[in-house]
Amino acid sequence: MQTIESSKVKEKIYIEKLENGLTVAVIPKKEICKKYVIWGTEFGSIDNNFKLTKTDQIVKVPDGIAHYLEHKLFEQENGKNSLDVLSSLGVDANAYTTNNHTAYLFEATDNFYEALDEFMDYVQSPYFTDENVEKERGIIGQEIMMYDDYPDWKLYMNAMKCMYKDNPINIDVAGTKETIAQIDKEKLYTIYNAFYRPDNQVLVLCGDFEVDNILEEVKKRLKPNHNKQEVQRIYPKEQEEIVEKYKEAKMDISKPLFLIAYKDKVETGEMVKKDLAIECICNMLIGKSSNLYQKLYKEGLISEEFGYNYEFSKTYAHILIQNTSNNPQKVAEEISKEIENYNQTGFNNEEFERIKKKIYGEYVKSYNDISSISNNFLSDYFKEINSFEFLEEILVLDKDYVEKVFKEVFVEDRKVISVVLPNE
């Protein structure tokens, strides 16, 4: 068993790779009433092209199949839906699909081990038939239509299409009505057998656990898995340049939405350090205490929901700046001016140190929440990151490195603007 410890937040994570290949991470939180469990597999919407190494067979699956499989895994051979069973036990259960992983989770105060029985049973017991796969098609088709009506989602997807030419991140996680029409039970079993292997998964448990005891409880509920199929993921080579600088759509909204994005180069090392550098930059550039934020807010060009995010993985990386505004172009111009100012003057050392302390405090605070700890560990694990690294790296982050990242990332030629305007 491997133990990872952070003296900064006095937390430990115990990690064991079981005989069947499954990685189990236990995060003990003494005297916490709730228990949280999340089981993730490294398979998301971008994994639509791969090779089965046993047979050298190249497999191209329909867009949206990872999300489709997430839906179908709840349905069991006994006719019950595991989500309903878990809800009847009084636990809060859910699942989600992202670009690079799929996860199943529940949070419980009571009936934990009964819930763990059902939870570990359904994730390990796929049951697909022609009838139940067909039944789900209409449900997911309606979900796709619903997302098509979400202005924020349209804004995001248009930004992805502006930035990425070939990377499948520019494809909707749920696919389209046309692509999900191609999904059948055979394709779902192919995906499950290829990616839902224990050695491609991690199970995270956070709560008032004795480590050895909960590991034994997990082992008791494991089912035999004889699938040794290995997969080689195939990703297209993405160009460094953006596809187009601007895209707009019109929808039934009262005020325009905008998303300004900067396409970044994918890092193979120092991902934690770079993520923290960009978080510092965004705080100083457009955070709520920044001069630019105060100026734009007083002029009525942005609202309090003005926000930013850095998304990155092994295959993509970009910065997103989003809000509502009656003049998105003016906001974009002001941000570009501020970037140019910082390029000339650099960052103020006092402000930089203050922002570092703010970010450090936010990371420390997040360890009070069992779902945040677990979800972050799972997401970071698939990026080959140790979550505790953020606490260590932020304290030693230096301004020279941050200014170097700033000049490399906030480049006008790699900026795109996505706008959703009200229908006239």
Closest CA to 128 of 49, 60, 173, 183: 183
Residue 333 binned pLDDT confidence (cut-offs 50, 70, 90): very high
Whether the Cβ atoms of residue 312 and residue 266 lie closer than 8 Å to each other: yes
Mean local confidence (pLDDT), 311-320: 94
Residue 83 sits at φ, ψ, to 5 deg, of -65, -40
Q: Please state, in angstroms and rounded to a whole number, the distance separating the CA atoms of residues 286 and 346.
A: 15
- From 70, 75, 136, 238, active-site residue: 70
Give the pLDDT confidence of 111-164 residue by residue, as tens digits.
999 999 999 999 999 999 999 999 999 999 999 998 888 999 999 999 999 999
Task: Report the SS3 class of residue 122.
Answer: helix
Superfamily for the 2-233 domain:
Metalloenzyme, LuxS/M16 peptidase-like (3.30.830.10)
E strand segments, 301-397: 307-312, 317-324
The CATH-assigned architecture of domain 246-422 is 2-Layer Sandwich (3.30)
pLDDT (0 to 100) of residue 147: 87
pLDDT (0 to 100) of residue 31: 86
Whether the Cβ atoms of residue 99 and residue 228 lie closer than 8 Å to each other: no
Give the helix/strand (H/E) hosting 341. Answer: helix 328-345
Tokens of residue 162, six digits: 């502006």
295 pLDDT higher than 90: yes
226 pLDDT higher than 80: no
Task: Report the SS3 class of residue 176.
Answer: coil
- Segments making up each domain of the chain, as ranges: 2-233, 246-422
Contacts of 312 (CB under 8 A, 6+ apart): 264, 266, 267, 271, 274, 275, 318, 383
* Mean pLDDT of all residues belonging to the chain: 94
Whether the Cβ atoms of residue 94 and residue 31 lie closer than 8 Å to each other: no
89 pLDDT higher than 80: yes
Give the pLDDT confidence of 204-218 residue by residue, as tens digits.
999 999 999 999 999
Answer whether 2-233 and 246-422 agree in fold.
yes
Task: Report the SS3 class of residue 288.
Answer: coil
234 pLDDT higher than 90: yes
pLDDT (0 to 100) of residue 229: 72
Using CA atoms, how far residue 288 sits from 171, 262, 338, 354, in Å, is 32, 20, 15, 13
Task: Report the SS3 class of residue 258.
Answer: strand
Q: Which residue has the tokens 């989602």?
A: 153
Using CA atoms, how far residue 82 sits from 20, 118, 297, 311, in Å, is 24, 7, 47, 32
pLDDT (0 to 100) of residue 242: 97
Residue 8 binned pLDDT confidence (cut-offs 50, 70, 90): confident
175: phi > 0 → left, psi -120 to 50 → alpha, else beta; which? left
6 pLDDT higher than 80: yes
Closest CA to 14 of 198, 189, 211: 211
Whether the Cβ atoms of residue 274 and residue 389 lie closer than 8 Å to each other: no
pLDDT (0 to 100) of residue 53: 84
User: Is residue 16 among the annotated active site residues?
Assistant: no
Q: What b-and-e string marks burial along 168-177, b requiring 16 or more CB atoms within 10 Å of the CB?
A: bbbbbbbbee
